[in-house]
Structure 1
Amino acid sequence: MNDKAKRAKELFLEGYGCAQSVLLAFREELNIDKDTAVLIASSFGGGMGRLREVCGCVSGMFMVAGLKKGPLNPKDFKAKEEHYRLIQSLAEDFKKETGSIICRELLGLPANSKSAPAPQPRTQEYYKKRPCPDMVALAADILEKRLFS
C-alpha cells in the first residue's frame, strides 16, 4: 500500500467520509486547503448524501482527477473528451477490483435502497460491516499510480 493509500485509509478511520478521505490525501499536491477539500467532498459520502449511488471513493477520485487534469476551457471538446476518457478509465480500474462503482452494491444492500440521512456512529461493528477503509485506500492507490507517479 502506497503512502497516499495509507493516508486515505487513516483519514477515513479518523471519521472523514469516503470522498473526503480520497481528496484530502492529495490536497497538498493539488494546492487546496484542508477546509475547502472537506467542504467540497462533504456531500458525496454514502454514495452521494447516503443515497447509495456512486461510491464516495469514486467521486473522490473524480474530484482529484478534475483538479489535476480537468479542462478549463468549456469549448475545448478535445480536452473534455480526453478528460472523460480518463474518468471512465479510473472508474474501470476501481470496478475491476471491486465489481462495482455503486455504493449499495459494494455494501451488499438491496437494489434501489437508500439510507436515512443520519450517519451511523463509527464503531468497531460499523467497520466490520464496511469495506470502505480498504476502498478509500484502493481509490488513492489508483490515483497515485495513474496521475502522480
Structure 2
Amino acid sequence: MAVDAFRLFQLATQGFCCSQIMLILGLDEQGKENPDLIKAMQGLCGGIGRSGKTCGALTGGACLIGLNAGKGSASEFSHAKIHRMINVLLEWFEETHGSIECSGILDHSLDEGNEYPVQCGNIVSTTFSKVYEILAVYAEDPESMDED
C-alpha cells in the first residue's frame, strides 16, 4: 500500500510526528478518526519522548498492526499471529534501516522542537507499506510466515 506523499507532507507540516502519522494514515485507510489515540501516540515521538530510542515509525507500525489485528474489547480476540507479525516488522525494520533507534538512523540529534526530517518521511512511507504487506500476508494465510 503506497503512501500519498502529499498527505504525509501535510501531516508533518501540521506538527505530527512519525508514530502519529503512522496511525493517522492507518485510520484514514479505515475511514476513521481518533484524536485521543493520536494524542496517545505522541508519547512515542522521536524515539519515545524524543529520547532518540526506538523509532516512532517502528513503534507506530507495531501499533498499526495492533489497530488492525489486535484485541479491542472483552468479546474480541487478537489475530493468533499478532506477535509474529510485529516481530516480522521489527526484523525487517532493523535490517532495512540498520537500527531500530532514531539516534542510530538519523544523522543528527533530536531536540525539543517539532522538526520532521525529510529522511523520516521515507522511513514512515516504507514502514507503512510494510505493515500492510505483513497484514495482507497473514490475512491470506496465517501460517505463511510462521517461523515459530
Q: Normalising by structure 2, report the TM-score.
A: 0.73
Q: Pick from 95, 120, 141 the counterpart of residue 113 of structure 2.
A: 120
- Within the alignment, does 1:62 sit opposite 2:55 as a pair? no
Tell me how large the CA RMSD over aligned residues is.
3.0
- SS in structure 2 at match of 1:37: helix
Deviates more, 1:8-17 or 1:138-147: 8-17
Residue 131 (1) aligns with residue 130 (2)? no
Map 1:62-81 → 2, pairs under 5 A: 62-71=62-71, 79=80
Runs of 5+ consecutive residues of structure 1 not aligned to the other structure: none
Q: TM-score, normalization: structure 1?
A: 0.72
Number of the residue aligned with 1:83: 82
Pairing of 1:1-149 with structure 2 (within 5 A): 2-3=2-3, 7-30=7-30, 32-71=32-71, 79=80, 82-108=81-107, 119-122=112-115, 127=117, 131-147=119-135
Sequence identity percentage? 26
Q: Against the structure 1 CA distance between its residues 17 and 121, is the aligned structure 2 distance closer, same or farther, given a 3 Å change threshold?
A: closer
**Does structure 2 conserve the Cα–Cα contact (< 8 Å) formed by 1:5 and 1:139?**
no
Runs of 4+ in 1 over 6 A off after TM superposition: none
Instruction: Measure, in 2, the Cα distance between the counterparts of 1:98 and 1:106.
Output: 7
Q: Bigger shift: 137-146 or 54-63?
A: 137-146
Uncovered stretches (5+) of structure 2, i.e. residues with no partner: 138-148
- What SS is found at the alignment partner of 2:67? helix
Q: Bigger relative contact order, structure 1 or 2, given CA contacts below 8 A and separation 6+?
A: 1
Partner SS, residue 3 of structure 1: coil
Give the number of equivalent residue pairs. 134
